[in-house]
Structure 1
Amino acid sequence: MNINKIAIIGGGTAGWLAANHLGKVLCKQAGVSITLIESPDIPPIGVGEGTVPDIKKTLASFGISETDFIRQCDVTFKQSIKFVNWMDKETHGKGNFYHHLFDVPSREDSEVLTAHWLAENSDAPFAQQVSAQHQVCEQGKAPKGITTPEYQGELAYAYHLNAAKFAHLLADNAQTKYGVKHHLTHVSRVNLADDGSIRSLVTSEDDDLEFDFYIDCSGFESLLISKAMNVPFIDLSDKLLVNRALVVQVPTYEGADIPPYTLATAHKAGWIWDIALPTRRGVGFVYSSNHMTDEEAETKLDYYLGGKDPKLVYKKLPMKIGYREKFWHKNCVALGLAQGFLEPLEATSILLTDFSASFLANRFPVKKSELAVLEKRFNYAMGYAWERVIDFVKLHYCLSDRHDSHFWNENRDLSTIPNSLQEKLKLWESSVPITDDFFSQFEVFYLENFLFVLYGMKFKTKPLALLPEVRESALVGLRKREEVNNYLQSKLPKHRELLDKINRYGLQSV
């Protein structure tokens, strides 16, 4: 029996990303239809404003113009995450920081420059040693020029964006290009078949809607995979300790400088994201309610923003940290927040949603007889990906030498650190990480991502004595990097200058 009728439950970024991925693959198959069902009275959370570089490939594959995307979604460029005060202020100074950059050297250059940095016990920031993007970020420069074609750049980049506007752009693209149907209604009941699969959805208008396959993008509510199908939730609050966020939108004045990175500033019980769009900043105070009261969190956020402003409205978001025991069950797949949530650090929510939706679309079941084998494949791959993301997020916390609160001390307790991460850190005490330490195509973060965090946070790896040829190769690499620094500083415009030109003239189409 063929799978022809597909329903996506929930809109927002997750639902419309799924609609585009599936639509692109399935729209030309005879008899196949995709319907996105979205409640008209449930607003999206709309705080997922950071992305990673893979999103460029996704948007280009959907045929979305980068110029249109930038203009319609209040986009700014993101070249890094700048981590401030994640290390002890007494030891490393108040305002200590490091960059997790997006532009990396070749694997060969990376290994040589890392070995040289460790051997020299250099005081220079690790990111500055290996990439010209460090200086570009610190100078507030853009990653490309106005004549650079769409989705290309002098340096690697991702985006900051208005999440609500992004969902609208994706919705329009899915409907106009791929024929995805949009149905505004509330799902009031889910009917299951005798075998536990989903038979139909009952709406608030008492319509009984039957489909062959269902995709749960209903957010934290997890209407299908959790409430109807009772797939258990794996709680990770003993590993990742933050569980709440206060979010606010702060207006900025016209012409203000726009940092080309996400700012992530640590505090005594968590951290603060600060994302600059053209006319506002999206700020989120992430914290552990087990280590800080809600009242103290509000006071701390007031202080960060320069004092209490009665015009600003804080929105409190509880964060249920963990993921589903299964992401695919019977004829239902969960994506986005219905699949799980770790925390906003490193923009993992949109990253995992995009990754999962693409993986699903590229091997979507044609017949119901394929469901069992594809379910097993999907759950294995996504489970591995989630576990590796947990390792990477936890890395930021357990490497910190802050000791000003129980929160940071507890994050270094071995009971809160996954065994898989403990094993890696033990290995990397005596040897520099190499590509072979990341052996699966389902790694979401790779060697260079780990290097930026490990050595940005002063992780101690026993340096090896450098062979003369390795030292010479490193010195050649450093000279080349300095040449690239000078070239980029002379060529690249300031961030806001480029955005203003894009909005006025547009980028060159590919």
Structure 2
Amino acid sequence: MKVNNIVIIGGGTAGWLAANHLAVELRAETDITITVIESPEIGIIGVGEGTVPHIKKSLMKFGISEAELLATCDATFKKGIKFSNWMNPSAANPSNSYYHPFTSPFPGGVDVTARYLSNPQHMNFAEVTEVAALADAMKAPKKVSSAPYEGVVNYAYHFNAVKFGKLLSKNARERLNVKHLSATIVDAKLNEQGEIAYLITKEGEHLHYDFYVDCSGFHSLLLGKLLNVPFVNKSNQLLTDSALAVQLPTDDKVDIAPYTLATAHSAGWIWDIPLTTRRGIGFVYSSAHMSEEAAVENMSRYLQLDVDQFSPRKIPMRMGYREKFWCKNVVALGLAQGFVEPLEATSIFVTDFTAELFARNFCVERESMSIAANYCNKVANYAWERVIDFVQMHYCISDRRDSEFWRINTEETPRSDVLAERFEMWRYHPPKQTDFFSRFDLFNVDNFLFVLYGMKYATKPKNMTDYEQQFFHREIAEVRLREEKLLKELLGHRDWLERFNAAYQLSLG
């Protein structure tokens, strides 16, 4: 029996990413209809405003132009993340910050980690690339002449999440023939096989489909509530469980940082994401280690505003994921599937990855669907576990002990067997690509190197020959020359965006 009607419950970033991925993969199946049901009564979380470079591949696949993204979503470029206060200040790093850039840590394709390890107190690991200097100088990652989705250094985006959802919606409806229905789904019924038989709207209407994609957010209406798929709780590994989010306008004369700023505090961290006209700021904290009142006061100090001058929205965060994201005739994506704090733009990254995984493995014949479901569940669970490892690493290798939150993170929180084993290996050998034996490690050796050694992880240095030392020195010198050249050639981030937007408006007539 063939699947002919697929419905996606919930729009927003997750729902419309799913719609675009499915529509592209099933384009040849002309008798399949894809419908997105959005409720006019339910808003979206709308704080997932940072991405990783993987999003560019999806946008190109969907046929969305980079120009339209930049012009319609208040988008800015993101070369990586600047971490502040995640360690104790030191003489070598008095500003107490480091970068995790979206570029290779192997200049010229050569692993120069040994050069860094020979003198870690006098070299920041990010110096193996030119991105940190370009970011500090507020430079754009592209030239005016750069091709769409290409730059002189790798990059992702910051954008208005609501507008991004609308862009995905427009593309799915107008280019890929996805149908759109406005309705509020309040319940669903199961058939004798334990599958979803039909949806029930607020008005009592029954809507019948063959396959259901649950993008209902934290409610997880179908996968969690109806099918009772257990939730794998990871709150013992990741202690933060709350966020206060606010958006503030910015002066149009102020530089736009080409990075996300992640600033640690005594019970969590703060995201600071620059768009073209505003900043999105989120105060992430552990409610077991800081009250909401104290969180608001700390946020007030960070914003340099009195408490009565801003009204943050509180977002509860439950860390973990569903034991299965594909069960019977239901797949859950986005918050309905799982959530890990957005320290490395994890939410939209995992959503995009699992939406593509599902779409590429979707079987239109029901008889073979269980095989695809079993495979995809194994992949998704592995990916979730490794993402959780990567996020947890930011906490547990810190040398901060100035609060109970940091002491518990560094001394008591359990770690997965995989992460514990890797930490032991990396005490004697720096990470290498072969340590990440699965292509479903969404964060790989590049990411781990920048964070591990940005936070001064103690790996035993290896002896180097004179030739190696000279060779590595030359490679780093080449980076500095390229850095000096690009600092002169590249436009400032705001300047590039303003010139682009002026040209784009002119092209519209």
Q: Which bin holds the TM-score, normalised by the shorter protein?
A: over 0.9
Aligned twin of 2:404: 406
Paired letter, 2:394: H
Deviation at 1:455, TM superposition (A): 0.3
* 1:30 to partner: Cα distance: 2.2
What is the match of residue 75 of structure 1?
A: 75
Q: Distance in 1 between matches of 2:323 and 2:307?
A: 43
How big is the shift at 1:250?
Answer: 1.1
| Corresponding position of 1:97 | 97
Residue in 2 that maps onto 1:350 = 348
For these two proteins, the number of residue pairs brought into alignment is 506
| Alpha-carbon distance in 1 for matches of 2:106, 2:119 | 21
Q: CA 1:253/1:309 → structure 2, altered by over 3 Å: closer, same or farther?
A: farther
Q: Does 1:114 align with 2:96?
A: no
Match of 1:169 in 2: 167
Return the alpha-carbon distance in structure 2 between the equivalents of residues 92 and 465 of structure 1.
23
Tell me whether 141-150 or 383-392 shows the greater mean CA deviation: 141-150
The one-letter amino acid paired with 1:201 is L
- The residue number in structure 2 matching 1:334 is 332
CA contact (8 A) 1:85 1:94 kept: no
Q: CA deviation at 1:426?
A: 0.6
Paired position in structure 2 for 1:60:
60
- Give the 3-state SS of the residue equivalent to 2:427 in structure 1: helix
- In structure 2, C-alpha distance between the alignment counterparts of 1:376 and 1:37, rounded to whole Å: 27
> Could you report, residue by residue, the CA deviation over 1:53-96 in whole angstroms, capped at 9, with x for unpaired residues?
11111111111111111010000000010000000147776640
Q: Which TM-score applies when normalising by structure 1?
A: 0.97
Q: CA deviation at 1:370?
A: 1.2
Give, in angstroms, the shift of residue 416 of structure 1. 2.5
Three-state SS of the structure 1 residue aligned to 2:345 is: helix
Q: Secondary structure at the match of 1:346?
A: coil
- The Cα shift of 1:311 comes to 4.0
CA deviations over 1:10-46 (Å, ceiling 9, x no partner):
0000000000001111133121000001111001010
Contact 2:87 2:96 in 1 (8 A): yes
Look up the equivalent residue of 1:104 and give its one-letter code: S
Q: Whole-Å Cα distance in 2 between the matches of residues 271 and 397 of structure 1?
A: 10
Partners of 2:92 and 2:315 in 1: CA distance: 32
Q: Distance in 2 between matches of 1:89 and 1:121?
A: 15
- Tell me what 2:31 maps to: 31
Query: Which amino acid is the alignment partner of residue 280 of structure 1?
Result: R
Deviations 1:256-287 (A, max 9, x none): 11010000000000000001111111000000
What SS does the aligned partner of 2:118 have? helix
Match of 2:179 in 1: 181
Cα offset, 1:480, TM superposition: 1.2
Q: How many Å apart are 1:108 and its aligned residue?
A: 7.0
Distance 2:92 2:381 in 1: 37
The alpha-carbon deviation at position 383 of structure 1 amounts to: 0.4
Q: How does 1:262-273 map to 2 (within 5 A)?
A: 262-273=260-271
Q: Give the match for residue 281 of structure 2.
A: 283
Distance 1:386 1:121 in 2: 32
Retained in 2: the 8 A contact 1:20–1:174? yes
Q: 1:397 aligns with which of 395, 402, 419?
A: 395
Equivalent in the alignment of 2:233:
235
Distance in 2 of aligned mates of 1:14 and 1:91: 44
Amino-acid identity (%):
48
Structure 1 residue aligned with 2:484: 486
- Paired letter, 1:136: L
1:362 aligns with 2:360: yes
SS at match of 1:416: coil
Cα deviation digits, residues 293-323 of structure 1 (max 9, x gap):
1100000000001131534211111101111
Match of 2:246 in 1: 248
8 Å contact from structure 1 (residues 82, 262) kept in 2:
yes
Structure 1: state its 5+ residue gaps: none
- Of 139-148 and 389-398, the range deviating more from structure 2: 139-148
Note the alpha carbon deviations across 1:319-375, whole angstroms, 9 max, x for none. Answer: 011110111101111110001001010000000000011111112111000121111
Name whichever of 471-480 and 349-358 sits farther off.
471-480
Contact 1:285/1:297, CA 8 A, preserved across alignment: yes
Given the two structures, how large is their TM-score scaled by the length of structure 2?
0.97
Q: Distance in 2 between matches of 1:225 and 1:290?
A: 29
Shift of 1:469: 2.9
2: CA distance, partners of 1:21 / 1:102: 24
Mapped to 2, the partners of 1:484 and 1:122 lie a distance apart of 24
Deviation at 1:7, TM superposition (A): 0.6
- Aligned partner of residue 187 in structure 2, secondary structure: strand
Give the whole-Å Cα distance in 2 for the aligned partners of 1:110 and 1:5: 50
Contact 1:217-1:336 within 8 A present in 2 as well: yes
What is the CA–CA distance in structure 2 between the aligned matches of 1:82 and 1:419, rounded to whole Å?
Answer: 29
SS of the residue corresponding to residue 297 of structure 1 reads helix
Q: Identify the match of residue 436 of structure 2 among 435, 438, 442.
A: 438
Deviation by residue 1:368-426 (Cα, 9 ceiling, x = unmatched): 00121111001000000000001000000001111110100100125432222111001
Runs of 4+ in 1 over 6 A off after TM superposition: 90-93
